[in-house]
Amino acid sequence: MSTTNGARILEARNISKSFEAVRALRDVSLELHAGEVIGLVGDNGAGKSTLVKILSGTIRPDSGQLVVDGAERNFDSANHARKAGIETVFQDLSLIYSLDITQNVFLNRELFRPGFLGKLLWTDNRRMRNEVVAGFSKLGLTLPQPETKVAALSGGQRQAVAIARAVQWGSHIVLLDEPNAALGVKQTEIVLSFIERLKQHQVGVIFISHNMEYVFRVSDRIIVLRLGRKVFDGAKTEVTQRELVSHITGAR
Partner 1 sequence: MNLLNAISLRMSRHRRTVGWAQRNGLFFALVFLILFFSVFSEYFLTWPNIQVILLTVSVIGLMAVPGAMLILAGYVDLSVGSVAALASIVFGQVVAAAHLPWELGFALGLAAGLAWGLFSGIIISYLGLSAIVVTLGGLAGARGIAELIGRGITLSGFGSAFDAIGGSSFLDLPVPVWILAAAFLIGGLVWYVMPYGRHLTAIGADANAARSLGINTRRIPLILYTASGGAAAVGGLIMTSQLDASTLTIGAGMELSVLTAILVGGVSFVGGRGSLFGVAVGVLFIGVLQNGLILMRINPFISDTAIGAALVFAAALDVLYRRLDRIPVTDPDTRVGAEAPAQPEPQLSSMSQPRG
Contact residues: partner 1, CB under 8 A: 78-79, 92-99, 103, 107-108, 110, 120-123, 137-144, 148-149, 151-154, 156-157, 160, 186, 189-190, 193-194, 196-197, 200, 212-213, 216-217, 236-237, 239-243
Query: At closest approach, how far in Å is the CB of 32 from partner 1?
Result: 21
Query: At closest approach, how far in Å is the CB of 11 from partner 1?
Result: 26
Q: How far is 110 from 118, CA to CA, in rounded Å?
A: 11
With CA atoms as reference, report the closest residue to 87 among 199, 175, 164: 175
Query: At closest approach, how far in Å is the CB of 64 from partner 1?
Result: 25
Question: Left (φ > 0), alpha (ψ -120 to 50) or beta: where does 214 sit?
Answer: alpha
Q: Of 172 and 214, which CB lies nearer to partner 1 in the complex structure? A: 214
Query: At closest approach, how far in Å is the CB of 214 from partner 1?
Result: 9
Query: CA gyration radius for the chain?
Result: 19
Q: How far is 154 from 143, CA to CA, in rounded Å?
A: 11
Beta strands in 21-117 (DSSP E): 22-33, 37-42, 63-68, 71-73, 86-89
Q: Of 50 and 187, which CB lies nearer to partner 1 in the complex structure? A: 187
Query: At closest approach, how far in Å is the CB of 83 from partner 1?
Result: 11
Q: How far is 131 from 35, CA to CA, in rounded Å?
A: 23
CB 204 within 8 A of CB 34: yes
Q: Of 29 and 154, which CB lies nearer to partner 1 in the complex structure? A: 154
Distances (CA, A) of 67 to 55, 64, 172, 191, 222: 10, 10, 14, 28, 20
Query: Please, what sign has the CA dihedral across residues 244, 197, 111, 170?
Result: positive
Q: Of 67 and 239, which CB lies nearer to partner 1 in the complex structure? A: 239
Query: At closest approach, how far in Å is the CB of 117 from partner 1?
Result: 9
Q: Of 24 and 103, which CB lies nearer to partner 1 in the complex structure? A: 103
Query: At closest approach, how far in Å is the CB of 13 from partner 1?
Result: 28
CB 235 within 8 A of CB 32: no
Q: Of 96 and 181, which CB lies nearer to partner 1 in the complex structure? A: 96
Q: Of 9 and 89, which CB lies nearer to partner 1 in the complex structure? A: 89
